[in-house]
Amino acid sequence: MSRDISEVEDLVQDVFISLWENTEKLYLKGFISSYLYAGGRYKFLNLVAHKKSDQIMC
């Protein structure tokens, strides 16, 4: 899990921005919290994958 609070804040902000920018494309069927959770999980896993690939490259 990420211990850098600024990374986590950026991640959450990215999720909200992505949701806002794609509002017209989305058809929300259910609770918005489910979409926010899934988006946060995806962004976090993507961040971890990029960090691992950066460590391998160095």
Tell me the per-residue pLDDT of 1-58, one tens digit each, with 9 for 90 and over.
556 888 889 999 999 999 899 888 888 788 888 889 999 999 999 988 988 776 676 5
Question: Residue 48's domain spans which residues?
Answer: 5-57
Residue-level pLDDT at 17: 94
Residue-level pLDDT at 42: 93
Residue-level pLDDT at 28: 77
Residue-level pLDDT at 14: 93
Q: 15 burial class (0-12, 13-18, 19+ CB within 10 angstroms)? A: buried
C-alpha angle 11-32-29 in degrees, rounded to nearest 5: 130
Our count of domains for the chain comes to: 1
Residue-level pLDDT at 2: 52
